[in-house]
Structure 1
Amino acid sequence: MKLCGNWPVSSEHGCGARSEMPFGARHGPVQWMTEAASFEVQVMSFFRALLSGRSVRLATFLALVALTLNGCAGLFGGDPVRVNVAGIEPIDSQGFEMRFNVKLRVQNPNDSAVSFNGVSLDLELNGKPFASGVSDQVGTVPRYGETIVNVPLTVPAFAAVRQAFAFVGATESGQIPYILRGKLAGGLTGTTRFIDQGTLSLPSAGMALP
């Protein structure tokens, strides 16, 4: 081995060629530890970037959504509201239609209040559609409480004529079966559907339509 300046060269080659240093000589233990430490720093920097700024806000948002959904699940697991017809009053009609104001008594048997921002009703008599109505009334049924909801119902002229004949046939028994279907819309609990059914008692002399 010869020296060409400060560089070792092999005996076969002149000063124009440098000998290659062994791999272990160029990458000693100290250099490997330095590279490993540098890699660890890069990994930690990457995770810090994930946990900062926009990522933190996203994680917070997802946590709030999870809490909200858990709260809604508790509301959905409650008992259904109870709805009964508290009264029916005639109101001004238009043309050949008949209109009634139906008073609904809504009871909430749950530990949480039920909010609503709309009501829809469908009334069947003798198994046939008879009247329907909607209302944009907004309200809240308190926990273990009740409230009265007013919904105007419209009876189309054809349905009124058809039911008039049914009333004549029902005077013998004096009873007409009815089914009232509806829904309360709105709030975190979503749409609450209900159904009420029973019989209407008619006077012995028949029932006069308004």
Structure 2
Amino acid sequence: MSDLHDALGDISTIRRQMALNTQFRGYGPATLAGTGAAAMLAGVAQALWLRDAAHHMSAYLCLWIGTAVLSSAVAGVQIYTRTRRLHSGLSDEMIRTAVEQFLPAVGAGILITFVLVRSAPQVLWMLPGLWQVIYSLGVFASCRFLPRPMIAAGAWYLLTGLTCLAIGDTRSLAPWTMGFAFGAGQLLVAGVLLTATPENEDEA
């Protein structure tokens, strides 16, 4: 019985190592481009109906957190189905690896948002920059099993995040700081996947 457990453990280790050394194809360019379009639409909505975000932070947070949750849900469903189709036998390990790479950044973003809202509302103008910097860390962490040009997307989010922080006041809450940064960033991610992945026919 012990030999059986050891053998199963060895198989699990091998499968996990294969997942770590295989390019992840679960991110669909079309879906990620759609999340970029969603960010741009949210920026337009803010420009039209939430012009003074600094004095309506609850609405601002609802808009952008809602956009992030919706985009993540759509992308998550697509990642699951696409990974099942393209990675077949390794799908569970590939999904687990992808989640493990990005989850720390997501968790950090949630916790920082919660702490600032509860304890330091006077510096909530920093959130757009912090969100983008944290997202860049998630992208960089995922680069090990994505096409190498994806580093450019991580650099983009790091640059836009630092730019927002450098603004230094509530001007960082302007619609473009999120709409343009995440809209263009996700389109960049989609473009990298479309051009650097050999299976371009699997665009969904």
TM-score, normalisation: structure 2: 0.32
Return the index of the structure with the highest Cα Rg. Answer: 1
Greater strand fraction, Structure 1 or Structure 2: 1
Greater helix fraction, Structure 1 or Structure 2: 2
Structure scoring higher RCO (CA < 8 A, sep ≥ 6) equals: 2
TM-score, normalisation: structure 1: 0.31
